[in-house]
Amino acid sequence: MKIENPNPIQWRFAERAEQLQSSFIREILKITQRPEIISFAGGLPSPATFPVEEMKTAFDKVLSNNGKVALQYGPTDGYLPLRQWIADSLSGNGSTILPEQVLMTSGSQQALDLLGKVLIDEGSRVLVETPSYLGALQAFSVYRPEFVSVDTDDEGLVPSSIDPVADGARLLYALPNFQNPTGRSLSVARRVELVETCARHGLPLIEDDPYGALSYSGEPYPKMINMNPDGVIYMGSFSKVLTPGIRLGYVVAPMPLVRRLELAKQAADLHTSQLTQMVVHEVIKDGFLERHIPSIRSLYGNQCQAMLSALEEHFPAGVTWTKPEGGMFIWVTLPKHIDAMKLLDEAIANKVAFVPGAPFYANTPDTHTLRLSFVTVPPERIREGIAILGKLIAAKM
Amino acid sequence: MKIENPNPIQWRFAERAEQLQSSFIREILKITQRPEIISFAGGLPSPATFPVEEMKTAFDKVLSNNGKVALQYGPTDGYLPLRQWIADSLSGNGSTILPEQVLMTSGSQQALDLLGKVLIDEGSRVLVETPSYLGALQAFSVYRPEFVSVDTDDEGLVPSSIDPVADGARLLYALPNFQNPTGRSLSVARRVELVETCARHGLPLIEDDPYGALSYSGEPYPKMINMNPDGVIYMGSFSKVLTPGIRLGYVVAPMPLVRRLELAKQAADLHTSQLTQMVVHEVIKDGFLERHIPSIRSLYGNQCQAMLSALEEHFPAGVTWTKPEGGMFIWVTLPKHIDAMKLLDEAIANKVAFVPGAPFYANTPDTHTLRLSFVTVPPERIREGIAILGKLIAAKM
C-alpha cells in the first residue's frame, strides 16, 4: 500500500524553531555518564534521597481507594487538595495565598514555558540575572524576547540596576535561593529592595524556588511572594525535595495571570497526571517532608563542605568560588585567560567533568567560569576529582 | 515583611495569549457533571475500562525493581523500550518505523502543541477537516495560523479539495479513524489518494489516531504513515486504550522534524514521567492490549448500537446522523433552522446534555450540528436521553 516515489518534503519550520538548541548540559551529560568519570556536571538530585518505599505505598493506596478517578482525565488547574496544601504552605507573614492561585504543571520547566507563552512577544524585554538558570533561558528563548542581563554580586541580583531597564519590560526572572548555577542567595535586604523596585515599576517578578527548602542550616529565606502577592509569581517543584522523574511542579500567580496560564496549559497538555498529583499529596499530607528534607540537607551539606575543603586545598590562588548555604551548586571563577570550555576537554581526558559557565549567560558570557555539582558524588571522589581539576588549572596559571 | 501600597500591575500579555480560549466542551462539562443529567457531552473514555489492578501491579513492580531510575530525571525523547514497542507496532506493509522517530509526549495534546510550536508561524496556512478536533484547533490557534477548512463528505476528507490550497501550507491535520467529533472514517481509497496528494505538494500530513484501535469489528484501517513514512506524522495515545489520567501519548515523525520536536519538548517540560512510561511498558509488553482492547470495543460498540437504535426510534424525519464503525462519537445534523446552541439550553433544562457542533469548525460553523458521546452512559439511560432530545427537536420541526 506504500505509495511510489513520493516527493521528499522540504521542511519549513517556524521562525521560533530556529531558536531551539539542545541544552549544552544535557549534551555534556551524555558524555559524562560513563562510570569512570567523576562528574560534577550533573544537575540531578541524588537518587539516594528518593523515598521509593513511600511512593510505592502511596501508589498502591491511591489506586486501591480511588483508582478510577486517579486514572481519568482531571481538571486543568490540578488536584484541589494538593493545590490547597501548596497554598497553605506558602501563606504567611500576613499574606494569604489561595488555592485558586495555584496551577499544577509538568515540572517547573513547564511553568517557565507557559509564562513565556503568555507574557513574551517577539522583542519583549525580559530581565534575567547574570548568570541565570539555563532552563529558563531556553524556555523563554522560544518566544524570542530581548534578554537584558541584570547585574549581580555576592549578595545576588542588584536591585538598583533594574531601574534603567524596567519600564516596558514584561518580566524579571530571579532564582533567589541557592541559585542554579552560582549557589548564591539574595540577601534579605535585597529581597525587600527588589520587590519594592519591581512594584514601583509595575514589573512582574518571577521567584523561581526549586532549592529553597535545601538550606543546610534549615533556616529558610523569606519568600518574595509574601512581600507582594499581587506582583510576584512564585514557582515551586517537587523535583528536589521528593523526586524529579514524576515531573511535578507548580506556579502561583495573581488571578489575572493564573487564568491565562491555565488556558495556555489546557492547550499545551490538558492537565498534569491526576494519579501523580494524588500520590504526591498522599505522601506529603501528614508532614513527611518535614521529616524527609533534613536528610537531604545533611547529605548535600556534607558533600558541599567536602568540596569546599577540597577547593581550598587543591585550587591555586587566583581562583575564587562561591560558598553556598544550601542547594546543589558551587560556581568557580578562574583567571580571565583560562577558557572553561577548553579546560573541560582536558578534564574529560583526565576523567573529570563539570559544566562551563558560558551557557548560563543570556548575553555576553564570562568564559572563565564553571559550575560544579557535588550532590551525586561521594566525598572521597569529590576530593579526588577536585585535586585533578586543581592540577589542570595550576598548569595554566 | 509585606511591602506597603505596591503599584498594581497593569498586566500586559503576549499577543498569542489573546487567542487563548477555554474549551467550550470543558465549560459544558462543568455544568453537566451533576448526576441527574444524562450527559452525552463527555469526551471521556469509560472508567469501567481502566485496568486498575494491572496498573497497580506494574507500579509496584517498577518501583520495587527499578525505583531509583524510574524516579530520576530521564531522557527527553522517552523510555527506549517503550519507543521500540511503539515503533515495532507501527512498522508494517514494507515500511519500517525506527524508535528514533518516536517522541513520547504528555498526552497527545502535547504533540499538537509541539507541532504547532515547530511548524506554525503567524499567518501560516494550516489545513484542517470540516469539522475538526477542537483540541487541535486550540493547540494550533496559539501560534496564530490561517486555518483553511478542507471539504469532507461521508467518506471523510475530500483529497481533491486540497489541491488549490496546499502549496505553501505548513501542514494538513487529519483524524482519519472514527473522528472526533463526527465518528466518520476516511475510506481506504481516500487514504491512498490523500497521501499521494500531500506527497505531490510536499505537504506534511498529520495522522492523529487516538481511536484507531477502537474499531467495533476489530478490523483496523490501514495507517497512512505506512504509505509514506517520510511525509506523514503519526500521533498516538494510551488515553483511549489504557487510561487518560496518566497523560501519555507520542508522535512519530520523519527524522528532521522529530529532532526539532524533541528540542521543543526539552524547553517545554524536559521529559515525560519516566515512571509512567516504564509502568505502561510493563503493562503492555506481553500482549495485554490484545486481550484488553476487545472489551472496550464491545462496550462502546453495544452502546453505540443502543444510541443508533434510539435515534432511529425517537428522532424525527429531517434529522440525519453518522453511523460510526468505531470510536466514541455520533454526529447529528439538524434541519438548518435549528440552532444547536439554543437546543442545548432546553436540553439541560430537561436534564440532557450534548456538545453543539459550532466549536469544531475552524471557520464558518454549521450551527445546526451536534456531537453525542455514548461511552459513559448505560443503554437504558441512552434511550431515555435520546427520547427527550427527540421530543425537543420534533417540537421545532
pLDDT at residue A329 above 80? yes
DSSP 8-state assignment for residue A95: B
Cα–chain center distance at A3: 48
Nearest to A286 by CA among A117, A69, A116, A61: A61
Residues of B in contact with A9 (CB under 8 A): 202-204, 230-231, 254
CB contact under 8 A, A269 and B106: yes
Distance from B125 to chain A by nearest Cα, in Å?
Answer: 12
Domain presence at residue A266: yes
Query: Are A174 and A219 contained in the same domain?
Result: yes
Chain B residues 166-205 within an 8 A CB cutoff of chain A? 170, 192, 195-196, 199-204
CB contact under 8 A, B124 and A21: no
pLDDT at residue A25 above 90? no
Q: How many residues does chain A have?
A: 397
Query: Are A125 and A235 contained in the same domain?
Result: yes
> Do the bridges between strand B205-208 and strand B171-174 make them parallel or antiparallel, or are there none, so unpaired?
parallel
Task: Tell me whether the omega of the peptide bond preceding residue B131 falls within 30 degrees of 0, making it cis.
Answer: yes
Distance from A260 to chain B by nearest Cα, in Å?
Answer: 7
In degrees and rounded to multiples of 5, residue B150 shows phi and psi of -95, 145
Per-residue pLDDT at A4: 85
Q: pLDDT tens digit string along A247-260? A: 999 999 999 999 99
CB contact under 8 A, A269 and B119: no
CB contact under 8 A, A192 and B3: yes
User: Cβ of A29 under 8 Å from any chain B Cβ?
Assistant: no
Q: Enumerate residue ranges in chain B where pLDDT < 70.
A: none
pLDDT at residue A32 above 80? no
Q: What is the dihedral of CA B383, B388, B389, B390, to 10 degrees?
A: 80
Residues of A in contact with B49 (CB under 8 A): none
| Residue keyed to cell 443508533 | B308
Q: pLDDT tens digit string along A361-370? A: 999 999 999 9
Give strand ranges (E) for B238-351: 249-252, 320-321, 329-333
Measured between CA atoms, the residue of chain B closest to residue A195 is B3
Per-residue pLDDT at A67: 97
User: Cβ of A34 under 8 Å from any chain B Cβ?
Assistant: no
User: Cβ of B268 under 8 Å from any chain A Cβ?
Assistant: yes
Per mean pLDDT, which range of A103-112, A187-196, A231-240, B22-31 is the poorest? Answer: B22-31
Domain presence at residue B360: yes
The answer to whether A150 and A164 have CB atoms below 8 angstroms apart is no
Residues of B in contact with A55 (CB under 8 A): 63, 67, 71
DSSP 8-state assignment for residue A98: -
Interface pTM, i.e. ipTM: 0.96
Q: How many other C-beta atoms lie within 10 A of the C-beta of residue A353?
A: 23
CA separation (Å) from A113 to A1, A191, A342, B210?
A: 41, 25, 32, 26
Interface probe for A, chosen from B117, B134, B260 (most Cβ of A below 10 Å), is B117
CB contact under 8 A, B231 and A6: yes
Per-residue pLDDT at A58: 98
Per-residue pLDDT at A184: 98
CB contact under 8 A, A11 and B106: no
CB contact under 8 A, A72 and B272: no
Query: Are A363 and A300 contained in the same domain?
Result: yes
Q: Is A203 exposed, middle or buried (0-12, 13-18, 19+ CB in 10 A)?
A: buried
Residues of A in contact with B94 (CB under 8 A): 2
Query: Are B17 and B119 contained in the same domain?
Result: no
Residue that is last in its domain, among B269, B286, B303: B286
CA separation (Å) from A344 to A36, A239, A320, B125?
A: 16, 28, 18, 46
User: Cβ of A328 under 8 Å from any chain B Cβ?
Assistant: no
Nearest to B117 by CA among A138, A10, A137, A20: A20
Domain presence at residue B6: no
Domain presence at residue A371: yes
Residue that is last in its domain, among A236, A264, A286: A286
Residues of A in contact with B296 (CB under 8 A): none
User: Cβ of B94 under 8 Å from any chain A Cβ?
Assistant: yes
DSSP 8-state assignment for residue B44: P
Query: Are B109 and B255 contained in the same domain?
Result: yes
CB contact under 8 A, A17 and B260: yes
Domain presence at residue B4: no
Query: Are A274 and A315 contained in the same domain?
Result: no
Nearest to A22 by CA among B58, B288, B75: B75
pLDDT at residue A238 above 90? yes
Confidence of residue A227 (pLDDT cuts 50, 70, 90): very high
DSSP 8-state assignment for residue A368: T
Range of the domain at A195: 72-286
C-alpha cell belonging to residue B24? 467550550
C-alpha cell belonging to residue B298? 464491545
CB contact under 8 A, A269 and B113: yes
Q: How many other C-beta atoms lie within 10 A of the C-beta of residue B77?
A: 21
Query: Are B234 and B144 contained in the same domain?
Result: yes
Residues of B in contact with A12 (CB under 8 A): 119, 170
Per-residue pLDDT at B299: 97
Which helix (H) or strand (E) covers residue A307, if one does? helix A288-314
Chain A residues 60-79 within an 8 A CB cutoff of chain B? 60, 63-64, 67-74, 76
Per-residue pLDDT at A19: 74
d(CA B278, CA B61): 10
Q: pLDDT tens digit string along A49-62? A: 999 999 999 999 99
Query: Are B193 and B280 contained in the same domain?
Result: yes
Per-residue pLDDT at B120: 98
Query: Are B322 and B348 contained in the same domain?
Result: yes
CA separation (Å) from A177 to A97, A134, A185, B1, B321?
A: 20, 16, 5, 17, 60
B63's CB contacts (< 8 A; 6+ apart) are: A52, A55, A56, A59, B70, B71, B275
Distance from A4 to chain B by nearest Cα, in Å?
Answer: 9
Distance from A336 to chain B by nearest Cα, in Å?
Answer: 31
Domain presence at residue A6: no
Distance from B231 to chain A by nearest Cα, in Å?
Answer: 6
Q: How many other C-beta atoms lie within 10 A of the C-beta of residue A276?
A: 27
Q: What does the angle CA B379 – CA B383 – CA B388 come to, to the nearest 5 degrees? A: 145
Interface probe for B, chosen from A20, A144, A180 (most Cβ of B below 10 Å), is A20
Per-residue pLDDT at A321: 98
Q: Is A131 exposed, middle or buried (0-12, 13-18, 19+ CB in 10 A)?
A: buried
CB contact under 8 A, B72 and A50: yes
Distance from A227 to chain B by nearest Cα, in Å?
Answer: 4
C-alpha cell belonging to residue A337? 585567560
pLDDT at residue A33 above 80? no
d(CA B97, CA B42): 34
pTM above 0.90, yes or no: yes
Counted across chains A and B, CB pairs separated by less than 8 A come out at: 304
CATH number for position B205: 3.40.640.10
B67 closest CB neighbour out of A52, A60, A230: A52
The amino acid sitting at B376 is T
A47 closest CB neighbour out of B72, B113, B243: B72
Query: Are A164 and A104 contained in the same domain?
Result: yes
| Residue keyed to cell 509512567 | B276
d(CA B353, CA B384): 12
Domain presence at residue A66: no
d(CA A180, CA A346): 24
B218's CB contacts (< 8 A; 6+ apart) are: B294, B297
A4 SS3 class: coil
A52 SS3 class: helix
The answer to whether B206 and B115 have CB atoms below 8 angstroms apart is yes
Query: Are A337 and A352 contained in the same domain?
Result: yes
Query: Are B102 and B236 contained in the same domain?
Result: yes
Residue that is last in its domain, among B286, B311, B346: B286
Chain B residues 143-162 within an 8 A CB cutoff of chain A? 143
How many domains does the structure of chain B reveal? 2
Per-residue pLDDT at B20: 82
Measured between CA atoms, the residue of chain B closest to residue A261 is B17
d(CA A194, CA A272): 32
Measured between CA atoms, the residue of chain A closest to residue B60 is A56
CATH number for position B331: 3.90.1150.10
The answer to whether A251 and A272 have CB atoms below 8 angstroms apart is no
d(CA B354, CA B345): 10
C-alpha cell belonging to residue A84? 490547597
Interface probe for A, chosen from B25, B247, B265, B271 (most Cβ of A below 10 Å), is B247
Chain B residues 297-326 within an 8 A CB cutoff of chain A? none
Domain presence at residue B59: no
pLDDT at residue A93 above 90? no
Mean pLDDT across A272-293? 97
CB contact under 8 A, A138 and B247: no
